Amino acid sequence: MIVFYKKINRYNRVLLSSAALLILALGLNEFVFTKDNSAQSTRDATSDAAIAQSILAERYCPCGCGNFLPGSANLPACFGCSVGKAEITRVLEGLAAGRIPEDIIDELNEKVLVDVFSDYTESKLLEVWDLVKRVSNAFDQRRVVLRPLGATEDARRAIKLVECARAEGKFNTMHEALIEHTGLWDRATLLALATKQGLAGNKITECFDSVDIAAQMAKDRQHAQLLNTNNFPAVSVNRKLCLPNEEALRKAIRKVLIEGTI
């Protein structure tokens, strides 16, 4: 079973099962999905929780640590890895949006993993992110993950906000809004941005003021150091440094798809 830890305040942690996370955090309503023009089938939060558990339970973290996904009851589990969190979020938010489980599994099994090591506050992030997404999508590879490093206080505030959005089932919405954000990165501005994305009230402000991102930053910084670069945004394809230009990305992705390595 996959379990998740959501920090409620400075002193308490509540252990949530995937079912509880979907029911309490995502607040899913019953919805309908179809596949290959088949008859409609009804899904709700409880059934989606079971589906998520079955997809995630035996999966290893794609960061290369050799451990299970963060929060897994299977040990050892990766701790604080944002790329592992991204896999979990891909499943949970995908199911919440009505995606077909088989399609999500196919995506998780794609050969290519592109990491972008950059804080949300980096001025060139939007340009690099759009490039990486476009090139990856051209090869039908969709596993692109931002690895924010928290180099400044502004950057750390952005990470806190997006992690609170993740707990509410709105990571991708907040993530894209932060990538496109220009201007100030102070607390008031970021909370106003969250309000525009449907995240408001005491719940989000309490999370913002108390969420612990230290382990995640440490893990992402460790992985960034392995690339042996000081130039950010930095891009890696299957954990190998790649120049952030279209030709280099196409070459690296093509090599993975053809040879299974890079």
Tell me the C-alpha distance between 53 and 17, whole Å: 9
User: Do 105 and 132 belong together in one domain?
Assistant: no
Q: Identify the domain boundary among 47, 79, 109.
A: 109
Nearest to 135 by CA among 254, 221, 20: 254
**What is the pLDDT tens value at each position of the chain, 262 positions in all?**
444 333 333 222 322 343 333 333 333 333 233 334 333 356 777 889 999 999 999 999 999 999 999 988 889 999 878 999 999 999 999 999 999 999 999 999 999 999 999 999 999 999 999 999 999 999 999 999 999 999 999 999 999 999 999 999 999 999 999 999 999 999 999 999 999 999 988 999 999 999 999 999 999 999 999 999 999 999 999 999 999 999 999 999 999 999 876 4
Task: Give me the pLDDT at residue 7, please.
Answer: 34
Tell me the C-alpha distance between 214 and 222, whole Å: 12
Nearest to 249 by CA among 124, 146, 113: 113
User: Do 125 and 233 belong together in one domain?
Assistant: yes
Give the phi and the psi of residue 15 in degrees, each rounded to 5.
-85, 120
Q: Count structural domains, the chain.
A: 2
Q: Identify the domain boundary among 109, 134, 152.
A: 109
User: Do 134 and 248 belong together in one domain?
Assistant: yes
Instruction: Determine the structural domain holding residue 91 and report its residue range.
Output: 1-109
Tell me the C-alpha distance between 121 and 184, whole Å: 9
Those residues whose C-beta lies under 8 Å from the C-beta of residue 81, and which sit 6 or more positions away, are 61, 63, 65, 70, 216, 219, 220
User: Do 92 and 188 belong together in one domain?
Assistant: no
Task: Give me the pLDDT at residue 81, please.
Answer: 86
User: Do 57 and 184 belong together in one domain?
Assistant: no
Nearest to 91 by CA among 81, 82, 99, 83: 99
Strand partners, 15: 5
User: Do 95 and 208 belong together in one domain?
Assistant: no
3-class DSSP state for residue 67? coil
Q: Identify the domain boundary among 109, 137, 172.
A: 109
Instruction: For residue 260, give the amino acid letter.
Output: G
Contact 25, 167 (CB under 8 A): yes
CATH number, domain of 186, equals: 3.40.30.10
Instruction: For residue 118, give the amino acid letter.
Output: S
User: Do 147 and 180 belong together in one domain?
Assistant: yes
Tell me the C-alpha distance between 1 and 52, whole Å: 10
The enclosing H or E element of 174 equals: helix 171-180
Task: Give me the pLDDT at residue 71, please.
Answer: 84
Task: Give me the pLDDT at residue 20, please.
Answer: 36
Task: Give me the pLDDT at residue 260, please.
Answer: 73
